[in-house]
Amino acid sequence: MNVGRLTVIGIGLIGGSFARAVRRGGAVGEIVGCSADAAELRGAIDLGVIDRAETDVAAAARGAGVVMIATPVGAIPAVFRAIAGSLGEETIVSDAGSVKGSVVAAARALLGRHFPRFVAGHPIAGTERSGVAASLPDLYVNQRVILTPEAETRADAIATVRALWEAAGAHVEEMPAGEHDAILAYTSHLPHMVAFALVNCLGGAEPASELLRFAAGGFRDLTRIASSHPVMWRDIALANRDELLRALHGYQGSLAEIIAAIEKGDAAALEAIFARARALRERLGNAGQAHGQSKMPPS
């Protein structure tokens, strides 16, 4: 399979890695990159990630077989608006956003008659780094990609997007957008909020310099994802607001249970809480072994 020209809008870690992977997989012809960030575009050309750079979104989409949108989630609606008038009758559009419900709703509202050829997607892969210089051709190898097609999405469009991700080495599965958002709220978005809060708590405590010196071990592993891109996470948190708030309130409850047991000095309750976590965590360890897994934090 070769989809012809691929246009990647947003050529950072996710878009850049996608371009490198599908080119290596022989699944595309020319690759056009588009970004509002001139330095990123230049970097993408210099690294051979893209063949041609465009700064105008509508122009970048014109003549593409597939348009992949890999901007932060908050920028995706504006991209839909910009490309709607320049899509070909057979052009397939997809995205790599970490939230799917709001993206699908925006696509339905803004892509008009092109909506049946829009396939919402999310590669569950990434690193805490960002930018095209961090992109890797094997970022998606053995990683999961979730597609969330709607009732009117064309089967051939789904098959094409699936084939591209498979050419990148990923395992593709489909589920409803709402289910995706509920799962990712707990397994990815909540952990990021937890890590951001943990680092900020340390930063607000005294003496910060001593704390930093001793925080270098396990704390560092636990909070690596707090280095993730602020704009990307701002957009995810707002786009998946309801599900994320549900997860955050559940988490506050779990935390309050621990705090209450410590305040009461209730040794039996504390031991039971920690034992419950350990047992569940060990099931997770086994679940992880059963499936090929990366060490990278997903988004």
Q: Site residues for its own copies, window 124-153 (CB under 8 A)? A: 124, 144
Q: Are the C-beta atoms of residues 4 and 25 closer than 8 Å to each other?
A: no
Assess contact for 94 and 154: CB atoms under 8 A: no
Please count the other Cβ atoms lying within 10 Å of the Cβ belonging to residue 243. Answer: 21
- Greatest alpha-carbon pair distance for the chain in Å reads 68
Comparison of 1 and 279: residue with beta carbon closer to its own copies: 279
Please tell me the distance from the alpha carbon of residue 176 to that of residue 148, in angstroms, as a whole number.
5
Smallest separation (angstroms) from its own copies to the CB of 79: 18
Instruction: Please state, in angstroms and as integers, the Cα–Cα distance from residue 80 to each residue in 68, 95, 102, 168, 185, following that order.
Output: 11, 10, 13, 24, 24
- On the CB side of 296, how many CA atoms lie within 13 Å of its CA? 21
Cis status, amide bond into 123, omega within 30 of 0: no
Residue 137 backbone phi and psi in degrees, to 5: -70, -20
Q: Taking Cα atoms as reference points, which of 125, 130, 134, 127 lies closest to residue 47? A: 134
* DSSP H or E stretch at residue 94: strand 92-95
Q: Please give the angle made by the CA atoms of 183, 185 and 190, to the nearest 5 degrees.
A: 135
Task: Using the minimum distance from each CB to its own copies, give the nearer residue, 42 or 264.
Answer: 264
Using CB under 8 A as the binding rule, whether residue 247 contacts its own copies is answered as yes
Binding span for its own copies by CB under 8 A among 63-71, 80-88, 110-118, 262-270:
262-270
Site for its own copies in 90-129 (CB under 8 A): 124
Is the CB of 154 or the CB of 241 nearer to its own copies?
241
> Which range binds its own copies by CB under 8 A, 3-11, 102-110, 111-119, 237-245?
237-245
* Smallest gap from residue 238 Cβ to its own copies (A): 6
Minimal distance in Å, beta carbon 77 to its own copies? 14
CB 140, min distance to its own copies, A: 13
Name the minimum Å distance from CB 66 to its own copies: 26
Sole window of 10-18, 102-110, 112-120, 266-274 interacting with its own copies (rule: CB under 8 A): 266-274
Which 23-52 positions form the footprint of its own copies (CB under 8 A)? none
Nearer to its own copies, 26 or 285 (CB): 285
Q: How far apart are CA 120 and CA 103, in angstroms?
A: 8
Q: Spell out, one character per residue from 57 to 96, where the chain touches its own copies: x when CB under 8 A holds, - when not.
A: -----------------x----------------------
Site for its own copies in 176-235 (CB under 8 A): 179, 183-184, 186-188, 190-191, 193-205, 210-231, 233-234
Return the number of the residue (38 or 212) whose C-beta is nearest its own copies. 212
